[in-house]
Amino acid sequence: QVQLQQSGPGLVTPSQTLSLTCAISGDSVSSNSAAWNWIRQSPSRGLEWLGRTYYRSKWIHDYAGSVKSRIIINPDTSKNQFSLQLNSVTPEDTAVYYCVRGQIGDRRYFDFWVQGTLVTVSS
Amino acid sequence: DIQMTQSPSSLSASVGDRVTITCRTSQSINSYLNWYQQKPGKAPNLLIYAASTLQSGVPSRFSGGGSGTDFTLTISSLQPEDFATYFCQQSYSSPLTFGGGTKVEIK
């Protein structure tokens, strides 16, 4: 059974960097059939997919245009985890953040979600 | 980006009612449409993928249909545990996008 464990601060100062990590058990960050996603949810923006990373002979990084200039999602194969780095945050980035496994290929969906972490951007 | 329009945004229904939620996309996505259920304080949970395939463990009262740009989620006989918010999501192309949600409340 796949399990995801998310860690990181719940409070970030405006203009600073939001950093979260998602540890994977029951699957591999280098899996040929999965992609590793970050999704957030807020009352104002709803569910918003931020981006993903996955391995297909090389690492692929795919980001939403709304955050493309300030996001990095990195895999860490030594620890079997992946991370989110969102730079230059504003209060608009306040949301519940989820790390999520996605199936890709012929069948494409999000099948395992972490409980989620509320990240508040405030001074 | 593919825009997702869900309707209604909320509905009130009674236990045993048949409920249908619709999702329309701004361009054709073939059958790359998924449905999720979310309860308060919890992460979304996959119900249906590829427009009509029931995820393992999901009750058969849930069904999905449609292709192209118009899709439906139907609950044939609403149960107390079905009161939740439902989201559609397209997996046809990046960026992956979600509908705004439909909150199903008790009448």
- Mutant choice from B89, B96, B97, B98 vs A, greatest count of A C-beta within 10 A: B96
A116, A7 Cβ separation under 8 angstroms: no
Strand segments, DSSP code E, in A1-123 are 3-7, 11-12, 18-25, 34-42, 46-55, 59-63, 71-76, 81-86, 95-103, 109-113, 117-121
Question: Residue A108: which pLDDT band, with cuts at 50, 70 and 90?
Answer: very high
pLDDT the model gives residue A77: 97
How many whole angstroms separate alpha carbon B17 and alpha carbon B15? 6
CB contact under 8 Å between A49 and B45, yes or no, is no
Flag if A46 and B101 touch (Cβ within 8 Å): yes
Give chain A's radius of gyration (CA, Å): 14
B32–chain A Cβ distance below 8 A for any pair: yes
A37 close to A110: Cβ distance less than 8 angstroms: yes
CB A111 to CB B46 under 8 A?
yes
Please report the pLDDT score of residue B69 as a whole number. Answer: 98
Residues B41-86 pLDDT 10s: 999 999 999 999 999 999 999 999 999 999 999 999 999 999 999 9
pLDDT in tens, A38-97: 999 999 999 999 999 999 999 999 999 999 999 999 999 999 999 999 999 999 999 999
Report whether A119 contacts A97 (CB < 8 A).
Answer: yes
| Residue A107 pLDDT | 82
Rounded Cα distance, B34 and B51, in Å: 6
Residue A116 has pLDDT above 80, yes or no: yes
Q: Per the CB < 8 Å rule, is B43 touching A48?
A: no
Per-residue pLDDT tens digits for B14-43:
999 999 999 999 999 999 999 999 999 999
Q: Give dist(CA A68, CA B92) in Å, integer.
A: 20
User: In this model, does residue B7 exceed pLDDT 80?
Assistant: yes
B40 to chain A, minimum CA–CA distance in Å? 11
CA distances from A51 to A14, A65, A86, B11 (A): 21, 9, 11, 31
Are the C-beta atoms of residues A90 and A121 closer than 8 Å to each other?
A: yes
- Name the residue among B51, B55, B1 with its Cα closest to residue B22: B51
Q: Which of A26, A25, A21 is nearest to A9 (CA)?
A: A21
Return the residue of B nearest to A51 by Cα.
B95
Question: Mean of the pLDDT values across residues B86-90?
Answer: 98
Q: Chain B partners of A63 at a C-beta cutoff of 8 Å?
A: 95
Q: How confident is the model at residue A105 (pLDDT cuts 50, 70, 90)?
A: confident
The minimum CA-CA distance between B41 and chain A, rounded to whole Å, is 8
Question: Is B49 within 8 Å of A108 when comparing Cβ atoms?
Answer: yes
